[in-house]
Each structure stands twice: as C-alpha cells, then as structure tokens.
C-alpha cells in the first residue's frame, strides 16, 4: 500500500540553524500539507500546497518557514533560523483531491532545537 | 471557522467494554469529519471519515461513528475494546474555506485495562 515517507525521523539542531525536513508524498497525490505537534498539544496545521504554490498557511507559518516541491517526488519544509519553540513533531500529509479526500500522514520528523 | 472539541483527554475502559470517544464540531458549512488514531511513536492513521453520505460511518478495526447534525457531534464507538486499541484518538474537521486544512481536536488517550 502506498504511504507517505519522511526523513529524517529525528533531527537535533542548534538554535539559529537552518533545517530541511523532507517528505515523499504518495505518487499520484496533488495536495500536500505540513502539520506540527508540540509535545502534549494539538496537531496544528502549518501550510497546504497545490499546483506548485501555497494555497493556505497558518499564522505559525511566518517568514522563517518555506516549502518547496523541488522535483516530482519530494516536498520539503525549511525553517531558516530555528527557535527553541520550533521543537515539535512535524507531519507531512498528502491527498489525491481536496477537502473531501483523506489526508494520508507520514510517520513524522521529531525536531529538537537546543 | 471550523473547530473541534473532544470531551475527555483520557478515557479508560476494560477489555471487552464499549468504547465511546466524544467529538463535537463547529462549522459554518456542511462539515467533513475524520477520526484518526495515533499509536505511540507513529504517525496518524485514518480510522474513518464522514463526507455527507451515510450518517453512520464504519471504519477500520471495528470502529464506527455517527454524524448527528442536531447535536453537532461525531462520536466514535466500538462495541468491544481490545488491548490493541490503546492509543490516542483525534477528531478533525476539514476547513473547506481555508485550503482544505484539517482542524484537530486536542485528542483523547484511550487506555484499555485487562
């Protein structure tokens, strides 16, 4: 069964460093998403991406964040200058269609900012 | 804007007992509702979804949920709990006006006692 994959599973970085989280969505999907879950808190939406552009972003997704689909398979989330409060589990998701369709989630990348 | 409230951050049941996890939603448009399960150290897995077809939705692992518009509820049930059901369960609504993002509830941790 097709699945969303994410790398790395765990990333440790120093405050102020740039990190890139990578995701490979399911191959025929058209909609891509990033969510995050700070330990003990809700899963929060960060950004949605369709047709090579951002379709929606949350207030969390400020200028420090960016997303890219550099080729036909990868979908990346970049944090330019990490802060302590960026420590969280980051989930990538993809769906074939829009709001009625299931979003399939990857296993997540745990980001720890020291 | 869409929102989700899950009543009870922790629910404990005995093995073989009924499981009932509560979810209430707020939506300005007909909602699309989802239940996801998260096992320890894993990603989010879809249990079931409601997309305006039948109000009683059957999902995987014997779970089902009933959409009740009058009560703005989408409670998750399972007739007989199994030890393997111990996990965290998230109710979510699709925000069709905001890039198809999922808005999650705070989650309910289900504990199954032997």
Predicted local confidence at residue B28, as pLDDT: 77
A32-50 pLDDT tens trace = 999 999 988 889 999 999 9
Nearest-CA distance B60 → chain A (Å): 14
Among chain A residues, CA nearest to B105: A42
pLDDT at B14 over 90: yes
Please report the pLDDT score of residue A87 as a whole number.
97
Q: Please, are residues A59 and A47 in contact by the beta-carbon 8 Å criterion?
A: no
Task: Check pLDDT > 80 for residue A1.
Answer: no
Which of A47, A99, A100, A101 has the highest number of chain B CBs within 10 A, making it the mutation to test binding with B? Answer: A99
Closest residue of chain B to A97, computed from CA coordinates: B100
With CB atoms and an 8 Å threshold, state whether A56 touches B101. Answer: yes
User: Residue A4's pLDDT is what?
Assistant: 94
Mean pLDDT score across all residues of chain B: 92
Model pLDDT for residues B53-91, shown as the tens digit of each residue = 788 999 999 999 999 999 999 999 999 999 999 999 999
Q: How far is B80 from chain A (nearest CA, A)?
A: 26
pLDDT at B64: 97
- Give the confidence band of B99 by pLDDT, cuts at 50, 70, 90: low
Predicted confidence at residue A114, as pLDDT, reads 97
Confidence of residue A66 (pLDDT cuts 50, 70, 90): very high
How far are the Cα atoms of A20, A43, B18, B87 from residue B11, in angstroms, in the given order? 37, 19, 11, 10
For residue A104 the two structure tokens come to 């399939």
Sort residue B100 into left (φ over 0), alpha (ψ -120 to 50) or beta. Answer: left
């Amino acid at each position: 069964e097709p699945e969303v994959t994410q790398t790395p599973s765990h990333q440790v970085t120093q405050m102020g460093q740039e990190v890139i989280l990578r995701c490979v969505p399911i191959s025929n999907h058209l909609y891509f998403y990033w969510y995050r879950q700070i330990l003990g808190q809700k899963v929060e939406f960060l950004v949605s991406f369709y047709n090579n552009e951002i379709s929606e972003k949350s207030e969390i997704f400020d200028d420090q964040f960016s997303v890219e689909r550099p080729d036909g398979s990868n979908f990346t989330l970049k944090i330019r200058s990490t802060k302590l409060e960026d420590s969280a589990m980051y989930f990538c998701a993809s769906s074939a269609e829009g709001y009625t369709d299931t979003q399939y989630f990857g296993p997540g990348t745990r980001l720890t900012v020291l | 804007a869409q929102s989700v409230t899950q009543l009870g951050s922790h629910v404990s049941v005995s093995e073989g007992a009924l499981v009932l996890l509560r979810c209430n939603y707020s939506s300005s448009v007909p909602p699309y509702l989802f239940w996801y399960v998260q096992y320890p150290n894993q990603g989010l897995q879809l249990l079931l979804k409601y997309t305006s077809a039948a109000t009683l939705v059957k999902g995987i692992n014997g779970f089902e949920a009933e959409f009740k518009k009058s009560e703005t509820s989408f409670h998750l049930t399972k007739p007989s709990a199994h030890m393997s059901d111990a996990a965290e369960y998230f109710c979510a609504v699709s925000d069709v006006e905001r890039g198809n993002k999922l808005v999650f509830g705070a989650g309910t941790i289900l504990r199954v006692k032997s």
